[in-house]
Amino acid sequence: MTRILKLFNRSSFWHNAALLASSTVLGQGLVVAVQPILTRIYKPEDFGLLALYASILSLLAVIINLRYEQAIQLPKEDAEARYLLLLSLAVGLGLSLVFGMAFWLLRDILSNWFNTPLSSYFIFLVPVGLVCIATMQAGSMWALRHAQFGVLAQTKLQQGVWQAMSQVGLGLLLKGPIGLMIGDVLGRLGGIQALLRIMPRNLTNITFHSMWRIAHRYRGFLLYGSWAALLTAASFHLPFVILTAFFGTAAMGQFNLSYRITTIPVTLVAQSIGQVFFSKAAATRTLAELGRLTEQTASMLLALGLPIFGSLFVVAPEAFPLIFGTEWKEAGIYAQLLAPYLLLSIVAHPLSHLLTVREWQKTLLAFTVLELALRIGAIYVGVHSREMYWAVYLFVVSSTVVTLLSLVLFFRAAGASWRGFWKRAGRWVWLNVPIILLLWGMSHWIKGWGLVGLSGIFAALLLLGSLLHLRKEGI
């Protein structure tokens, strides 16, 4: 880890993003490496229950700090930012306890809703996971404010290592999904250690009146941002809950594996670059500067996403049963469906911080209502088809439409030009698309590990070429 920190010690956009991405690659790379082991230790039903648990956490995570952690970047004075940090942590701890108690009291009702019995350990792990998430979200924003990219990198690395080792070890000792869920929590606990070390220790001059004043000053994040974030999370994670309730944990386990594997590039690239982008965007002084930064970042993300998801689209149905076992063939089909949507998502996800930078909470709230309506409407039609495949297909189509609309909104918020974006990004499209089409044509003659290896080589070469060119441009 020390070598990585020394290697990327400059403060440019590229080096900060590369530092976070490289650490995430190491951490999540281990998580990916153990997946073929996990799919042979655990059943699809176990992954389905993990998906339900993760969806609940993800749904509540966006409001666990009432979005006050998003404002930590904005104050000019560090003292005001410290108040926001403490406010975020206090709110997160309080709401975690409230949600935990609610789950315990409503355990039977929720079991009926989810069509899945919720065990005692499931209920207990919900508030524990939420406390970890609240701490990580607030601590990460504090680290970003102080440009502590090395600490963020360490957080990502430790989370991946702890999660992978815990899930494998517990899977060998315990039967059922409990190992997957406890491993998830242990990964989060491992990740927050570095963040805890940089948080302020001095609590003098902290008064209730001052906390209330800060809460009132940034109430827009609570009144509009929290609701918008909740609706956005609901539009994405509620379909997972609905699919589990209607099609069972086994079917959801197949989709969960495909989603977890295919979204790893989004985690590696989009989240790492997104955090650096947020820091840079918050520091811009003019709308023109923000627009140029947005165009440059969007084209860079497209350059990184095309070889990854283009190759995934071609190889996924062959690769999944080979790597994870023959019973996971259905997951490969779902991965192929997800690829086009994830390509757009890897571009849009980091840019979502623009609405926070511009404090467009009302616009965000209005957009998320539309987002929720489109996704839930698609799932409603899919559920009534009584076919999991069509439910997933409609979910992907609606998510793609939502992502395209969100890109339009983000570009407008930044004052970015689509012509400027295409001028930068067009070269990557013309480079990648012919090679991906060639690979797709070759897939009719080459099968099995040969196709997987060839796709990996093509993707690696295209990605390396993109990285070298981006670095040459000084990005």
The DSSP result for 262-281, as a single string, is HTHHIIIIIIHHHHHHHHHH
What phi-psi label fits residue 218: left (phi over 0), alpha (psi between -120 and 50 degrees) or beta? alpha
- Report, in this order, helix, strand and coil percent for the chain, each rounded to 5: 85, 0, 15
Residue 329 DSSP label: H
H or E element: which one contains 428?
Answer: helix 418-442
d(CA 267, CA 33): 16
Q: 439-462: buried (b, 16+ CB within 10 Å) or exposed (e) per residue?
A: beeebeeeeeeebbebbeebbeeb
pLDDT of residue 9: 43
Give the domain ranges of the chain.
Answer: 1-217, 218-475
- Hey, is 358 helix, strand or coil? coil
In one-letter notation, the amino acid at residue 215 is A
pLDDT of residue 99: 94
Q: In the block, which residue shows the tokens 């004075």? A: 77
Q: In the block, which residue shows the tokens 């350990």? A: 121
pLDDT of residue 266: 79
Q: In the block, which residue shows the tokens 């499931």? A: 122
Residue 152: which of 130, 131, 137 has the closest Cα?
A: 137
d(CA 291, CA 178): 47
d(CA 320, CA 259): 12
What phi-psi label fits residue 115: left (phi over 0), alpha (psi between -120 and 50 degrees) or beta? left
In one-letter notation, the amino acid at residue 373 is A
- Hey, is 10 helix, strand or coil? coil
Asked if 3 and 150 count as a contact pair (C-beta separation under 8 A), the reply is no
Dihedral, CA atoms, 171, 174, 177, 180, nearest 10 degrees?
-40
d(CA 472, CA 107): 56
What does the chain come to in residues?
475
The CA-to-CA distance between both ends of the chain, in Å, stands at: 23
Low-confidence ranges of the chain (pLDDT < 50): 1-11
pLDDT of residue 291: 84
Sign of the dihedral through C-alpha 236, 241, 247, 250: positive
pLDDT of residue 2: 47
What ranges in 107-148 are assigned the alpha helix state H?
107-114, 120-145
Residue 384 burial (10 A CB sphere; 0-12, 13-18, 19+): exposed
pLDDT of residue 18: 59
d(CA 451, CA 445): 9
d(CA 305, CA 308): 5
Q: Across 115-233, where does the E strand assignment appear?
A: none
Residue 69 DSSP label: G
- CA-to-CA dists, residue 217 to 210, 336, 353, angstroms: 11, 46, 20
Report CA 324 to chain centroid distance, whole Å: 23
pLDDT of residue 10: 45
